[in-house]
Every structure is written in C-alpha cells, then in structure tokens.
Structure 1
C-alpha cells in the first residue's frame, strides 16, 4: 500500500512538472506569434494587425500569472530538489521573460500606429525587417532548445543576439544621420528608435531564455556570463 501511495505521489508530481512545461511552451507560442505579427505590422503598415497585437497583450499577462501560480504551488506542495527544482525555477524565469517579450511586441505595435499616421517615408526598413526576422527565430530557437534540453541550440541563440546588437547599433547611426540631415524627420525617427529598441530587447529576453536552458541542463547559472564562458560550460557537459 505504501509503495502504491508513493508511486501515485511521484506520478502526480511528474504530471505537474510536465504541465508547467507544456503551459510555458504554449505561452511561448503565443508570444512568438505576437512578435511575428508586430514585425509584419511595422514592415507592411498593417494597422489592423498592430491593433490585434495590442489587444492580445492581456492574454500573455494572464498566462504569466497562471503559470507563475502553478510554479509556486509546486514549490510549496512538492518541495522539489535537484533537477526537478531547476525545472520549476527555469520555467518561472522563462515565463517572466516571455511576458516581457509580449510587452515589447505591444510597444512595437503602438509605435507602428503612430508611424503609419505620418506621410513621411519610414526609415531603417531593412534593419527592422532583418532584426525582426532574427528575433522571431531566436524565440523559436530558445524554446526549442528548452524542450530538447539542447545546450548547443541555446548557445546558438546567444550568438545570434550579438549579431542583432550589431545591427541595432548600425541602425542607430543611420537614424542619427537622418535626423541631422532633416530635422523634420525627428518625430518619426524617435518612433522608429523605440521600435528598434523594442526589437533589440526581445533579442535580449530570448538570450535570457537560452541561459535558463544551460542552467536546466548543467545546474550552472550563466546569467551575466560571456558567450565564451557559456561555451566552456557546454563543453563540460559534452
């Protein structure tokens, strides 16, 4: 009887862990779509798509609260240890980053509506499209790496983040040139600046998710670590 009871408790615990992981992945899918739609909106001037992104931000916020509560319940009731504890903590941290990505997607949509109200040509179209496509791939790659416990995949996301940062710096120089040559462009350029900043921040949050993959697999907290340090941690796992 004791064995059956313990097996039941263990089975339910595993089901709880699987549930928070699946809920996190579902939230990740929603956030990825939000970012993809926000990028499409700014690149095409689709105000309806931008409005939809803004409306669905509440769905992202509700998912964060729900999953965070589930993680808290597991910590209180199950008192997990070792890899199980890492799973709960990693999910909780990833969910926080996903919510912030959702916020940034909403910011892009809001500024998109402001930009499309003007008749001036948009600046940095190529940079926004490139950076936007890359951060969408980063979100997908980070979530896939989490699902697979794939440290190499997580590190590839971190590498991409460095490329996005370089493109962001280049776009800022382009914006400054526009504003210096034509002061009338400053208002629109500022909106574009906030859009580019939001895209760059999405890349940072995708990197954070990848860091949690490394923590989940190795038990090493690599937040604030350099790419080289992460690669060294990955080699130890191999």
Structure 2
C-alpha cells in the first residue's frame, strides 16, 4: 500500500476509534440517567467502575496518534486532524468523568424515589445534552463546520435551563443535602455540554486551522 494511502487509512481508523469512544461515553450518560430514574443503585455503581474502560480507550487513541506522528511526520493539514482527534478524545474522556460524577452524586441521595420533580428536571436537561452530543458526533464524522457552529446555540439553552433548575431548587422548601446532590448532577450536565462545545471548536480547527471560542 502506498505510504499516503496507508496514512489516510490510519487517519480513518483513528476517527473511527474516536467515534467508538464517543458512543461509549454517550451510552454511559444515557445509562446513568435511566438508572437515576429507576433508582437502580447497582447500575450506578457499575457505571462508576466502567470509567477505567473509558480511560483505557482514550490512552489507546493517544498512543495510536503519537505513533502516527512519529512514523509519518504529517504535513500541516494532516497534523491538524491528528491533534484535533487527540483533543476530541480528551474532551470525551472528561464527559465520561462527569458522567461518573453524576452517578456518584446520585448514590449519595438517600432515596431517589422521593425526588420525582428533581428527576424530571434532570431528564429535561439530559434530553438536550443527548441531542447536542449526537449533533456534535455527526459534525465530527462529516467535518461539518456549519454544524459545529450551531452547537453554541444548544449550549446556551442548556446553560439557561441549568440556571433555572438551580434557582427552583434553592427556592424550594425541600432544599436539603439530597437536593444539593441534584444541583451537582445538573451542574455536571452543564459541564458536559461545555465539553461538547469544545469538541465543536476542535472540528472547526481541524477543517480550517482556526480556533473559535463558541462558549
């Protein structure tokens, strides 16, 4: 296989690996939301343990990307793709960490079944986060700059709804240590959306070499 063709194949595989990491992270997030809603404590404990798998996948991606740079000495445009891939993988791993933080916070709640209103609010935020991450994945797979730029509006809506969620919790007579755990969970979701926006910024960098702050 000619060197250039081989390198392009490696780039494609690297992007596939990053997509797989993204789907694993998203699946973990969805599982966490479902476990919270179902008061499924064993599943929440499993999600905490599964963080090591996500970390290992990201390290494998880093190793592959580093070897590509060392072996191929890529030109500027190809190097951008590798660097963007590394940054995207790092942001996805952080989303995984925040998902674990959510699971830990849920495990600290005395009885999740007593907080239907809080869980409903979390579900509303989660639906937006899932939609956002799906659109980020699509933009990354297609190197879609316009799609990446649209992510900022989704992040703004999540920021607003997170702020409203917090205000309602602190104005409630139910405010307690348990309720604070729900505030933390919402905060972790808001941070996940920020990392989704970071991925969108790296898509733009990958395509045109410019860094834009979409936050």
Q: Give yes or no for TM over 0.5.
A: yes
Q: Report runs of 4+ in structure 1 exceeding 6 Å deviation.
A: none
Q: Conserved in 2, the CA contact under 8 Å of 1:41 and 1:112? A: no
Compare relative contact order (CA 8 Å, sep 6+) and give the higher one, 1 or 2: 2
Q: State TM-score, norm by structure 1.
A: 0.84
Pair member with larger Rg: 1
Unaligned 5+ segments in structure 1 are: 1-6, 227-238
Q: Conserved in 1, the CA contact under 8 Å of 2:158 and 2:190? A: yes
Q: Counterparts in 2 of 1:77-116, with a 5 A limit?
A: 77-115=71-109
What's the RMSD between the two structures over aligned residues?
1.7
Residue of 179, 201, 208 corresponding to 1:211 = 201
Unaligned 5+ segments in structure 2 are: none
Q: Conserved in 2, the CA contact under 8 Å of 1:90 and 1:213? A: yes
Deviations 1:160-187 (A, max 9, x none): 0110000011011011112xx35xx421
Deviations 1:167-215 (A, max 9, x none): 011011011112xx35xx4211211111011111111111111111111
Structure 1 position 83, deviation (Å): 1.9
Number of equivalenced pairs: 215
Distance 1:114 1:11, change over 3 A: same
Q: What SS class does the counterpart of residue 174 from structure 1 fall into?
A: helix
Q: Conserved in 2, the CA contact under 8 Å of 1:141 and 1:157? A: yes
Q: Counterparts in 2 of 1:217-236, with a 5 A limit?
A: 217-222=207-212, 224-225=213-214
Q: What SS class does the counterpart of residue 176 from structure 2 fall into?
A: helix
Between 1:84-93 and 1:119-128, the stretch displaced more is 119-128
